[in-house]
Structure 1
Amino acid sequence: MTHPTPPDLLTLHAVRTLGYASTARVAGRTGLPVATAEEHLLDAQAFGQVSWTGYHGDGGWSLTEAGKAHEEKLLAAELDATGARALVEAVHHDFLPLNETVSATCTAWQLAELEMTDDPPTLTEILAALSGPARRLEGLEQRLTSVLPRFAGYHERFAGALERAEHDLHWVTGTDRDSCHRVWFELHEDLAATLGLGH
C-alpha cells in the first residue's frame, strides 16, 4: 500500500535533494502547482527552514540547518508511520554497489573532459558502464514506490539522460540539465536523507 507524502514535506525534501533550486523547479520535482509549492516554501522560510538567495534577478531556495533537522525528523516519522524503513534500508543496500559504479564512471568522464587522464574512456565505454545501473534502477524504484510514491521518476530521468548522451555528451555529467550524474546524485541524497544518513 502506497503512502503519499504530505506536500509540506515534499517541498522541503525537494529543496534538500535539489540542493539549490527555483520555485518552478521545486514545483516540478514535487508535482505540485507552482503557486502551491511557493506557498509551502514561504511558510518554510517563515520558520527559518529554507532561505532564498537572489542573483541579478534570478535565485533559488536552499535548506537551512534548522530545515534539514526538521525535514529529517519528518522523514523518520514517515518511515515509522508507513513501516517502510526496512524496505528503504534494503534498497539502499542494493543501491550502494551501483553508486560506486556510477560515481567512478562519471569521475572518469569528468577527468577525460578536463584532459586529466592518460587513458581516457570513450563515450561508448561510459554509456555501456552506465547502462547496467540504469537497468537495475528500474527495479529499485519499483520497490520504493510500492510504499513511497515520492521516489517515482528517477529511472525515467536517468534512462532519458543516458539516451540523450548518445548524441550530446553533456548529458553524462552536465550541471545545467538532468544529466545522468545529477539525477543519480539526487537519488543518493534522497535515500540518505530518508534514512537519516550522513555523507
Structure 2
Amino acid sequence: MIPPLHLVMHGVAVRKHSSAEGIAAIAGLDLAQIASTLASAAAGGRVTEIDGKFLLTPAGFLILNGEYSRFYGLLRANTVFASAYDRFEVVNRDLKQIITDWQTIEVGGRRLPNGHTDREYDAKVIDRLGTLHERFDPILAQLVGAVPRLDYYQAALITALNKAEDGDSAWVSEVKIPSYHTVWFELHEDLLRLLGRDREE
C-alpha cells in the first residue's frame, strides 16, 4: 500500500501550485486526510504553503523522487502498463498537433495565433479531439486498471471534452481551468513520475 504522505507529495508535484482540493483529486484521498497529511508534510519541511497553495520544498523533491522506485517497482515491471503507456505516447504526439492547430491557424503559408473567429475551423479541431479521445479511452482504461486513482483523469477528460463539444471553447486548452489539455498534461506528468521516465520534447 502506498503511504498517504507519498500520495500527497506526488499530488503536489503533479499539480505544482494547488489547493488541498486539487491535490485530493490527484492523490485519490479524502480532503480531511489530505489536510492533515499536508500539515505533517509542512511541519517536516517537505512542502510549503503560499496563500493556500502548496509547493514541494527542495528537500521534499529529493525525498519524493527517491521514493518512486521503491513504491512503483512492480508497476514499472508490469508489461501491460508499460505497453499502455507507450501507446499513450503515440496518441500524445497527435494531441500536440491538435493543440497546435487549435492555438494557431495557417494564413498565407504562415502560422498565426488563432483568434477563434472561424467557427467552422474550430469545430473541425474539436471533432479531431473527440476522435482522439475515442482512440485513447481504452488505453486509459488499462492504465486505470493498474492504478485505480487515475480514474480522476478519465472523468476530468470526458468532462472537458463534453464542455468543448457543447460550445465552450475554453475547455480545449485554457490553463486556468481543468481543460482537456491541462488535464492531459497533468496525466502525462503523473505517468512519467510513476514510471521514472523523462518527458519527450
RMSD of aligned alpha carbons: 2.6
Residue 72 of structure 1: aligned partner: 65
Partner of 1:130: 129
CA change 1:142–1:19 in 2 (3 A) is: same
Decide whether aligned partners of structure 1 residues 79 and 30 sit closer, same or farther in structure 2, where only a CA change above 3 A counts. Answer: closer
Contact kept, 8 Å, 1:165 with 1:172, in 2: the verdict is yes
Residue 162 (structure 1) shift? 1.0
Q: Matched residues in 1 for 2:96 and 2:186: separation?
A: 13
Paired position in structure 2 for 1:53: 50
- Quickly say closer, same or farther: Cα 1:168–1:85, change in 2 above 3 A: same
The 5 A counterparts of 1:119-158 are 122-158=121-157
Shift of 1:61: 0.7
Distance 2:56 2:28 in 1: 19
Q: CA contact under 8 A between 2:26 and 2:149: conserved in structure 1?
A: no
> Equivalents in 2 of 1:63, 1:34: separation in Å?
19
The answer on whether the counterparts of 1:134 and 1:155 sit within 8 Å (CA) in structure 2 is no
* SS of residue paired to 1:157: helix
Amino acid at match of 2:134: R
* Structure 1 segments unaligned to the other structure (5+ residues): none
- Is contact 1:15-1:61 (8 Å) kept? yes
2:19 to 12, 15, 22: 22
Task: Please say if residues 49 and 67 of structure 1, whose CA atoms lie closer than 8 Å, have aligned partners that are also in contact.
Answer: yes
Offset at residue 194 of structure 1 (A): 0.8
Q: From the superposition, tell whether residues 73 and 101 of structure 1 become closer, same or farther in structure 2 (CA, over 3 Å).
A: same
Superposition TM-score, scaled by structure 2 size: 0.82
Q: State the structure with more CA Rg.
A: 2
Deviation at 1:83, TM superposition (A): 6.4
8 Å contact kept, 1:48–1:64: yes
Q: 1:171 to 1:82 in 2, by over 3 A?
A: closer
Going from structure 1 to structure 2, the CA distance change for 1:186 and 1:61 (only over 3 Å counts) comes to same
User: Cα gap change, 1:143/1:115 in structure 2, threshold over 3 Å: closer, same or farther?
Assistant: closer
- One-letter identity of the residue aligned with 1:49: R
Residue 87 (str. 1) matches residue 80 (str. 2):
yes
Q: Give CA deviations for 1:28-72 in whole Å, capped at 9, x if unaligned.
A: 333423221011112222333222122xxxx31122333233223
Q: Which segment is superposed worse, 4-13 or 155-164?
A: 4-13
Give 1:26 deviation, angstroms: 1.5
> Counterpart of 1:43?
40
Contact preservation (8 Å) 1:84, 1:147: no
Q: Name the aligned partner's letter for residue 87 of structure 2.
A: D
Q: Give yes or no for contact 2:25–2:152 (8 Å, CA) kept in 1.
A: no
1:195 aligns with 195
TM-score for the superposition, normalised by structure 1: 0.82
Identity, % of aligned positions: 28
Query: Which residue of the partner structure matches residue 184 of structure 2?
Result: 184
Q: Is the 8 A contact 2:173 2:181 kept in 1?
A: yes
How many residues matched? Answer: 191
